[in-house]
Structure 1
Amino acid sequence: MFTRRGFIPYLICFFSFWSLSILFIKYRKLSFQKKSLAYIVVPSDTSFVLSSTTVDTVIDNIYECVDDPRHFVLFNRIIIALSNLRNLGRVTDVDEILRSQAVHDESSMETSYALLSGFIWAIPVLGFIGTVLGLSQAIGGFGKVLQTSEELSQIKTSLQGVTGGLATAFETTLQALIAALFIQLILTFLKKSEEEFLDSCSEYCITNIVNKLRIMPFETQNDN
């Protein structure tokens, strides 16, 4: 039956498997990113103060944990803020930079789902197109039945094939709607997990970076 429904079911399967592949890759990446939350890159000593003179200690700890911090959302956010602190020496800018980077990460996350949103929109549309094509073929077949059949028994027999074509046409829409619903549910749960991860990154930065910041005496003199 599947091979008799034209090319539409193949397109539905293609976009569905493509969407599921993207979701699986994003899930694996998210699981990998979450591991960064387990690392404490700032010394746990209560006497440690994060300033422009102690930035290198934290940055060195990050590079001891991972080879390239840019591949991690959390570490990349911290590196950008601390690099600014090391270069400019302005403690007051760190919190603002972390917030700005958090907004950027959220925007990047939303953008990464754009293609999936397009697929979720396209799959049901393909199902409706398949149904319309099936209906047009069935109606055309019904017209041929009326033209070629003279007896009622022949019409009934021929109409069985036409109604079977109608059932096949609506099955295409059903398959597309089920596929889109399944993908949308997975996307919703994954997106929620990703949003929770970004919130955890922000909380991590506040607890381990912002709360450790102190304005040193020489910085106050420079500001004056």
Structure 2
Amino acid sequence: MNRLWNQPNRLLILGLSLLAGVLFIGLLSLLLPAGGPAAVVILDHNAILAPNSPFVYPFTVQNLMHLLFFVGLGEVYCRWRIAEREQAMNREGLLPEDYRVILQEHDLPAIRARVADRYDAEHGFLPSLIDLCILQFRASRSVDQTVSVMNSSLELIDHRLDLRYAMLRYLVWVIPTIGFIGTVIGISLAMNLIDPAADEQPLGEIAKALGISFYTTLVALVESAILVLLMNLVQAREESALNRAGHYTLTNLINRLYAGGR
């Protein structure tokens, strides 16, 4: 359960996302009649209207975009759960919050023991900041140096956090790109219906094929817009957790340190 909820495993979520995408396509294939308007727009299930298409259903551009969209949703889910886990840590009261408390050196080992196993290289903003600040203060006996180390650590964590969204940013870019490629292919197929040697051209079929060719771009833009919205909401939530962790450490640890204590 921890690999799905508290700290999701990305590879496991990737597999489940692909499975969910396949089930989504299969369900719509059963519910939407082939050649119907909804099936044409959403799935490109269009054997009657586009007999010259090189794609054999279900291997269509739309379905490829659906699979990538669900992979993106899986990435969003992973980041959302990690963000909520970080927010929960900020509410655990890992540090004394009473304004009258002054922390002396003999108080710090117990606090460090409380957070030592609560973080790793990727997760646990607040415990890692607390542990690092305590180590720096005990080594230097300087509050100023401790503040400097905390600020540097916050910058590094913020950069690392931004890198975690590289895959999502790529998916947000690649889905519309695939949609545009599908549109270009559709226009090319429509142009193939033109017979220079014929006296009359099948204008109705050409117009219909041109209309269908833009559906891939329509679907791609809608899915990309959804992913961009979710990505920004979740990233803001995760960055908020980092900001709160820094403020909490500054308020309840660094501002309470007493360099002269023994």
TM-score bracket, normalised by the shorter chain, equals 0.7 to 0.9
1:137 — aligned with what?
189
1:112 — aligned with what?
164
1:107 and 1:43 map into 2 onto residues whose CA distance is 29
2:114 and 2:261 map into 1 onto residues whose CA distance is 26
Which residues of 2 match residues 183-222 of structure 1 at below 5 A? Answer: 183-216=227-260
Q: Does 1:50 align with 2:94?
A: no
How much does 1:28 deviate?
1.1
Call closer, same or farther: CA 1:114–1:216 in 2, change over 3 Å. Answer: same
8 A contact 1:33–1:73 mirrored in 2: yes
* Count of residue pairs brought into register by the alignment: 207
Which residues of 2 match residues 17-166 of structure 1 at below 5 A? Answer: 17-44=70-97, 48-62=101-115, 67-70=117-120, 71-143=123-195, 146-147=196-197, 149-150=198-199, 152=200, 155=201, 158-166=202-210
Please list every run of at least 4 consecutive aligned residues from structure 1 whose deviation after the TM superposition is greater than 6 angstroms. none
How much does 1:46 deviate?
5.5
8 A contact 1:52–1:89 mirrored in 2: no
Call closer, same or farther: CA 1:141–1:203 in 2, change over 3 Å. Answer: same
2:21 — aligned with what?
none
> Greater CA deviation, 164-173 or 44-53?
44-53
Q: Deviations over 1:166-210 (max 9, x none)?
A: 111001111111111111111111122222222111110111111
Q: Deviations over 1:153-176 (max 9, x none)?
A: xx4xx3322222111100111111
How much does 1:105 deviate?
1.4
Call closer, same or farther: CA 1:44–1:184 in 2, change over 3 Å. Answer: closer
8 A contact 1:51–1:85 mirrored in 2: no
Call closer, same or farther: CA 1:46–1:167 in 2, change over 3 Å. Answer: closer
Q: Deviations over 1:1-59 (max 9, x none)?
A: 32446342232112211111100111111111111111222335656433443310211
8 A contact 1:69–1:79 mirrored in 2: no
1:51 and 1:21 map into 2 onto residues whose CA distance is 45
2:74 and 2:100 map into 1 onto residues whose CA distance is 48
1:72 and 1:110 map into 2 onto residues whose CA distance is 15
1:20 and 1:46 map into 2 onto residues whose CA distance is 43
Higher relative contact order (CA 8 A, sep 6+): 1
Structure of higher CA gyration radius: 1
TM-score in terms of structure 2 length: 0.71
Gaps of 5+ in 1: 219-224
Gaps of 5+ in 2: 1-39, 47-52
1:44 and 1:177 map into 2 onto residues whose CA distance is 48
Counterpart amino acid of 2:83? L
Aligned-pair identity (%): 22
1:32 and 1:45 map into 2 onto residues whose CA distance is 24
